[in-house]
Amino acid sequence: MKKISFFTLILGALLLLSNCTQAKENKESSTDVNQANKNIYIQLYSVRDDIKSDFKGTIAKVSEAGYKGVEAANYNDGKFYGMSPEEFKSEIEAVGMEVLSSHTGRPLEENIEKTNWDDVWAWWDVAIDAHKKAGMKYIVTPWMPTPKTLADLKQYCDYYNQIGEKCNEAGMKFGYHNHAFEYKEIEGQLMYDYMIENTDPDKVFFQMDVYWTTQGEQSPVEYFNKYPNRFKLLHIKDEKELGGSDSVMDFDNLFQNIDKSGVEYLIVEVEHYNFEPIESVKQSIDYLLSNENVKADYSK
């Protein structure tokens, strides 16, 4: 009886060890699947030179790297990268990605009072129609001249509210993308804060570029807390590719405190590289896929 009990005990221990090993493998496999399925998007400016020489091949490589969709950076006269909206959408979807958003804008005249508003709104009507046909969810203005006065800045805020209203009517959302200069003062007021406070949240969101915010000596997390739910899109960017040895960003703190931002999508942008552009954007998404602080999906 003692022999039988001993061997039974050994067999039981082996079965328990096998079950634990299998459970660990299943957990690791599940983790790998979740990481691979994170909804990470890319600003196509990151591969701007490659796209010029080989659009189809480049977007195929971007998709293979794991990106779920794109933000365009080449809209002009109703076309994206020289293609009709329908053609552009078809090319992106053919490699398994979706068209999410586009950097598009029309600055006003230096002397805003001389703006021909009929021309401005005619331009936007064409642009909004093209973006809708391309399947865009968001239109983002990527830059503006620095106004000299708060009165000029207020006119821009009113302008953005009106664009936002037009985008809403077309089933899209309108936002503004920052650099570092928006964190300077105009007549004693921080430009970025003034813009957030003088635009309608139902009409204008802000696509925070977290790298440029830190370069403006500000904290992205502090802005998330100060202006909750105003940042539907985030540009996740660093000095060069994400996760590199020359990083200047504290991404762990950012992702651990992102909930109040209102973010719906993360968009990688790589402007400068240590490697070939396609390798840099691949390393960048690998960093986000392996970072346990990055959720699989922020849109839900």
Whole-prediction pTM value? 0.89
Query: How would you classify the pairing of strands 75-76 and 79-80?
Result: antiparallel
Task: Encode 257-272: b = buried (16+ Cβ within 10 Å), e = exposed.
Answer: bbebbbbbbbbbbbee
| Structure confidence at residue 36 (pLDDT) | 64
| Structure confidence at residue 23 (pLDDT) | 47
- Residue type for position 109: E
Q: Which helix (H) or strand (E) holds 139?
A: strand 138-141
Helical residues (DSSP H) of 95-180, grouped into ranges: 117-133, 150-169
Q: Give per-10-residue mean pLDDT for the chain (300 aa).
A: 49 50 47 66 98 98 98 97 98 98 95 92 98 98 96 97 98 98 98 98 98 98 98 98 95 98 98 97 98 95
User: How many angstroms separate the CA atoms of 105 and 182, rounded?
Assistant: 17
Query: Which residues, 6+ apart, have CB-to-CB distance to 61 below 8 Å?
Result: 278
- Residue type for position 67: Y
| Structure confidence at residue 281 (pLDDT) | 98
